[in-house]
Chains A and B, each alone.
Chain A
Amino acid sequence: GEDVEQSLFLSVREGDSSVINCTYTDSSSTYLYWYKQEPGAGLQLLTYIFSNMDMKQDQRLTVLLNKKDKHLSLRIADTQTGDSAIYFCAESLNDYKLSFGAGTTVTVRA
């Protein structure tokens, strides 16, 4: 995903908050997504935000969207060991193609 960029690694202590950042390039993207990939598995949709929203909260997850800067972030509150995974940011393009970032590997340490 050259159009979607995100940092590759994040290490966080159990119980702390994790923040994963992403920048995208297509200002016409309608939806922006966060997918989670656990070891040996496919990607699974974690949450998404519509482009006319600034924020979306879903239990421990908070998505923030800055459309002006084309910046998306995912905050995980009270990070648990089960949150260790690769997190992908994705944007939907005009023809409903999904463009993914390279993924951020989140490691939760005790």
Chain B
Amino acid sequence: EIVLTQSPDFQSVTPKEKVTITCRASQSIGSSLHWYQQKPDQSPKLLIKYASQSLSGVPSRFSGSGSGTDFTLTINSLEAEDAATYYCHQSNSLPQTFGGGTKVEIK
């Protein structure tokens, strides 16, 4: 089973700051890494697919990068509505697995 390790677990950030969340896979997963945003009492929402592919309707301040074992989700100029927990997810190998999540709080 591929283990995804996210860091940090928690981040408290001022609006307009840049946020960087990392996800490290225990073995190479190519680009089969996806990012989700989950707000309290809501279901996860797909933000970035295949490491760096943006999605229609997702604000351009969200971007992803990486391949192999190291991946990054970047939120440029954080807004109050971005307060959420962010999860990475790999679909390269079965069983599919998720990272432990990074909670982003707005100061």
**Chain B associates with chain A:** no
